[in-house]
């Protein structure tokens, strides 16, 4: 439909058009059910050109009635968002218009709308040129450039990108945080917040100046945000919205870590201390599953009864960039734990109901958040800690069980490719699917069973319940 024949916000009164805006119910007693203002024209095309100025005025009246502390001038700012949305519609129509005559018609409508947004001249300068209100003229210019595809707001396609991203809620939050940082930097640096203005040179400037915006964040965290911008720009490039990904290869320099500053596996002595300490039964079970499977904490905590298969295999949910659920043979030393925890449960019942996860539906935290905190408290209570000056995190954490498992499998002579299959690392060549029951599954079982817990001198065997 041509925007010049659009009847939105318009109605005929006699043979003249007028603007009509519905008032929110809560304001009916204050200013009535509708606001109306005549446009003084019987031409629908002319009415569409004139309506935006009037619409902004009526919307400002409603906003002021709802919040009397808001000036009418501030309330009129709402019209900018409406104009931008209208410009986006024009840009979409213009991209789809392959007929030159059709495009010329759209351009004519764009010019009419821009003139309406600019308003009447305030005066004439000494050279006879019209002088317009600067703010309205800027809006009219932005509208025209956006509608003609000459400018594209950097976040115009971001929500669509997010809706098509198959990532965790925390990663989506990182995407939004990265976009907000870029927009904040544009404001500080005087860079127009449009895709066309973000060149490779500006991307370098952003990375150089980013630490000044977020002084409390480490280079590792800031690189995560730069990486999310790169993913967005790649998506834009594939859709021909930008010429290239200006963030490709961009990274902030991270402080070089010496070997003794990197997070590490537990030592055998630390594993002994953890397993023979005064842990609650559920924590003891959890640590043993982690040590003898190499699985990540959240994958373990999210196990259900049906994920502990009768053929002796765990089915862990996908983690990181895994394309689907991952099989891991159940270590013989875990059979008693699995059978005890499955007993009397339905297929969809949790194996670790002690940690049901966060209750808020909109929480970005993984189910294992509380579990991680409880493990950290327990670990520190038995003296398993490794803090280094200048590092926010210690060198050992729950993930150290995963590192310990990999280390022990390597020391037992297991092939690196098989270990990668078991723990879900990226692996070239053969794949290990959910329904695989061939030689690769047997190799994985040999790998798992090659890992042995360190001897516990005073290990207490719990009764099978």
SS3 11: strand
100: part of which helix (H) or strand (E)? Answer: helix 100-118
Rounded (10°) angle between helices 399-411 and 268-275: 130
Give the Cα separation of 208 and 73 in Å (integer): 38
Give the Cα separation of 447 and 427 in Å (integer): 16
**pLDDT for 365:** 78
**pLDDT for 209:** 92
Give the Cα separation of 50 and 44 in Å (integer): 10
- The CA-to-CA distance between both ends of the chain, in Å, stands at 71
Phi, then psi, of 451 in degrees rounded to 5: -90, 125
Phi, then psi, of 131 in degrees rounded to 5: -115, 125
- Residue 55 in tokens: 């619409």
- Tell me the whole-structure pTM to 2 decimals: 0.57
Rounded (10°) angle between helices 200-213 and 169-189: 100
- Residue 324 in tokens: 């689907």
Give the CB-side neighbour count of residue 205, counting CA atoms within 13 A: 13
Which value, to the nearest 10 degrees, does the dihedral of the CA atoms of residues 443, 445, 449, 451 take? Answer: 70
- Residue 204 in tokens: 């370098």
**316 with 307: CB under 8 angstroms?**
yes
Give the Cα separation of 326 and 405 in Å (integer): 17
Phi, then psi, of 359 in degrees rounded to 5: -90, -25
Place of tokens 């659009």: 6
Classify domain 268-449 at the CATH topology level. hpI Integrase; Chain A (1.10.443)
Give the Cα separation of 154 and 182 in Å (integer): 9
Enumerate the domain spans of the chain.
3-147, 158-238, 268-449
SS3 5: helix
Query: Greatest CA separation found in the chain?
Result: 98
Ordered per-residue pLDDT tens for the chain, 465 residues: 455 557 878 999 999 999 998 888 888 899 999 999 999 999 988 888 788 778 778 877 887 787 777 666 665 554 677 788 888 888 888 888 888 888 888 888 888 778 777 777 788 888 888 888 888 888 888 889 989 988 888 998 999 999 998 888 888 999 999 999 999 999 999 998 999 999 999 999 999 999 888 877 888 889 999 999 999 999 999 999 899 999 999 988 766 554 455 889 999 999 999 999 999 999 999 999 999 999 999 999 999 999 999 999 999 988 766 666 888 999 999 999 999 999 999 999 999 999 987 777 666 678 888 999 999 999 999 999 988 776 667 899 999 999 999 999 999 999 988 898 888 876 544 444 443 444 588 899 999 999 999 987 654 444 433
**264 with 420: CB under 8 angstroms?**
no
CA angle at 179 for the pair 177 and 184, rounded to the nearest 5° = 95
Single out the residue of 316, 348, 323, 319 nearest to residue 448, CA to CA: 316
Give the Cα separation of 437 and 264 in Å (integer): 33
**226 with 178: CB under 8 angstroms?**
yes
């Amino acid at each position: 439909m041509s925007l010049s024949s659009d009847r939105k916000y318009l109605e005929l009164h006699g043979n003249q058009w007028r603007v009509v805006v519905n008032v929110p119910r809560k304001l009916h007693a204050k200013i009535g059910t509708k606001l109306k203002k005549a446009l003084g024209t019987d031409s629908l095309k002319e009415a569409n050109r004139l309506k935006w100025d009037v619409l902004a005025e009526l919307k400002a009246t409603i906003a002021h009635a709802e919040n009397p502390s808001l000036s009418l001038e501030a309330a009129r700012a709402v019209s900018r968002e409406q104009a931008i949305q209208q410009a986006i519609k024009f840009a979409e129509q213009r991209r789809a218009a392959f007929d030159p005559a059709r495009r010329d018609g759209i351009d004519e409508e764009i010019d009419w709308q821009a003139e309406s947004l600019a308003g009447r001249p305030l005066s004439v300068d000494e050279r006879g040129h019209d002088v317009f209100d600067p703010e309205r003229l800027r809006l009219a210019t932005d509208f025209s450039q956006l509608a003609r595809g000459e400018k594209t707001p950097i976040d115009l396609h971001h929500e669509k990108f997010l809706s098509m991203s198959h990532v965790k809620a925390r990663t989506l939050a990182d995407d939004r945080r990265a976009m907000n940082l870029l927009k904040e930097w544009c404001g500080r640096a005087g860079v127009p917040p449009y895709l066309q203005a973000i060149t490779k040179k500006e991307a370098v400037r952003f990375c150089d100046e980013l630490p000044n915006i977020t002084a409390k964040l480490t280079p590792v965290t800031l690189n995560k945000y730069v990486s999310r911008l790169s993913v967005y720009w790649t998506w834009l490039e594939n859709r021909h919205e930008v010429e290239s990904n200006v963030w490709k290869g961009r990274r902030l320099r991270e402080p070089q870590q010496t070997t003794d500053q990197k997070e590490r596996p537990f030592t055998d002595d630390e594993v002994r201390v953890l397993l023979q300490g005064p842990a609650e039964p559920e924590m003891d079970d959890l640590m043993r599953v982690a040590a003898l499977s190499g699985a990540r904490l959240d994958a373990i905590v999210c196990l259900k009864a049906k994920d502990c298969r009768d053929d002796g295999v765990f089915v862990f949910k996908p983690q990181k960039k895994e394309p689907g659920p991952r099989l891991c043979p159940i270590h013989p030393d875990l059979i008693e734990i699995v059978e005890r925890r499955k007993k009397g449960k339905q297929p969809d019942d949790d194996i670790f109901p002690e940690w049901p996860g966060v209750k808020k539906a909109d929480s970005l935290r993984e189910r294992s958040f509380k579990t991680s905190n409880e493990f950290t408290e327990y670990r520190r209570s038995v003296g398993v800690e490794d803090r280094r000056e200048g590092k926010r995190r210690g060198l050992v954490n729950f993930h150290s069980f995963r590192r310990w498992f990999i280390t022990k499998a390597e020391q037992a002579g297991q092939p690196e490719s098989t270990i990668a299959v078991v723990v879900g690392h990226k692996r070239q060549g053969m794949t290990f699917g959910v329904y695989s029951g061939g030689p690769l599954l047997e190799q994985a079982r040999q790998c798992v069973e090659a890992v042995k817990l360190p001897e516990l001198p005073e290990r207490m065997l719990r009764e099978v319940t």
